[in-house]
Amino acid sequence: MLKVAFHPIYKHPLPEGHRFPMEKYDLLPKQLLHEGTCEQENFFQPEVREENEKYIRSVHTPEYLKELYSLTIEPRKARKIGFPLSAELVERERIITDGTIKACHYALEHGVAMNIAGGTHHAYSDHGEAFCMLNDQAVGAQYLLQNKLAKQILVVDLDVHQGNGTAEIFQQDDRVFTFSMHGKSNYPFKKEISDLDLPMENDCDDEHYLTALRNTLPGLIEKVKPDFIFFLSGVDILSTDKLGKLGCTVAGCKQRDEFVFEQCLKYDIPVEVSMGGGYSKDIKTIINAHANTYRTAQLMFF
């Protein structure tokens, strides 16, 4: 069964003009239920669990966590996160991390599991950036490794923004291979070095995008031989995205998801999917493109 972590919407309104589309966390599960892609039993609600702290602490530094949890991050560093910090927001990040840990578990059981949130790949070991405070997939990877549930992990980060935090966190760790395919001239402007980076030119269309992915991912799986995959399925690769600079269509984005799932199935590798970015002007486009990832998983795995 497809298990999906959902998260109640962040209750505090963001400041006027804030670009982060918080409503998608509310609208996406509603859409999936409405159209019958998911039933209530597909959803689970993560929570704050103290036992997750040891995995969070193996990803993030004690100094950073102390500042984050006590809301005492200095203003210059807090501005980089881009959200007005609050206890509720930090709690939400911890809940999202639990969603990814549990989704790892469900993925081992069912082949795939998803988190309607997460993909917080700009969170570094010692600071947060760009709406990301705790790196959910990095924490999930530590959970799997420490519990001997996986030996070799592959991160397939297809959000339009480079997975800079994830790259930094696992720079010295051979057990986690970080692959990031992203917009060359998109944030972050100073990129980290992933184990494999595939920067794409501005306005890159479906054909170029999918060809690059098809030419890379199977060979990578053969080389890395992962026993677990984290997929970051951001839909900010769309031409309609306000932040992304690539030129993919909704159909192309869906073909991307199909291709990733096809490889996971072909090589029989469990996959956890965190949602990542999506900032198209029309919220309906965002919801439709994200919903495609869930529709595709349902169709291909179950």
Residues forming the site for Zn ion (CB under 5 A): 159, 161, 234, 236, 277
| Residue closer to Zn ion (CB basis): 93 or 159 | 159
Give DSSP secondary structure letters for 211-253.
HHHHHHHHHHHHHH--SEEEEE---TTBTTBSS----B-HHHH
From the CB of 106, what's the least distance to Zn ion, in Å? 24
Amino acid letter, residue 265: L
From the CB of 164, what's the least distance to Zn ion, in Å? 11
| Residue closer to Zn ion (CB basis): 131 or 301 | 131
From the CB of 132, what's the least distance to Zn ion, in Å? 10
| Residue closer to Zn ion (CB basis): 111 or 244 | 244
**Residue matched to tokens 């984005």:** 253
Angle in degrees, CA 232, 235, 236, rounded to 5? 110
| Residue closer to Zn ion (CB basis): 188 or 218 | 188
From the CB of 130, what's the least distance to Zn ion, in Å? 8
| Residue closer to Zn ion (CB basis): 65 or 134 | 134
From the CB of 187, what's the least distance to Zn ion, in Å? 8
Q: Check residue 300 and give left, alpha or beta (phi > 0: left; psi -120 to 50: alpha).
A: alpha
From the CB of 121, what's the least distance to Zn ion, in Å? 8
Sheet containing 153-157: order of strands: 43-44, 3-5, 112-115, 271-274, 228-232, 153-157, 176-183, 196-200
| Residue closer to Zn ion (CB basis): 159 or 168 | 159
* Burial per residue of 47-73, b for 16 or more beta-carbon CB atoms within 10 angstroms, e otherwise: eeeeebeebbebbbeeebbebbeeeeb
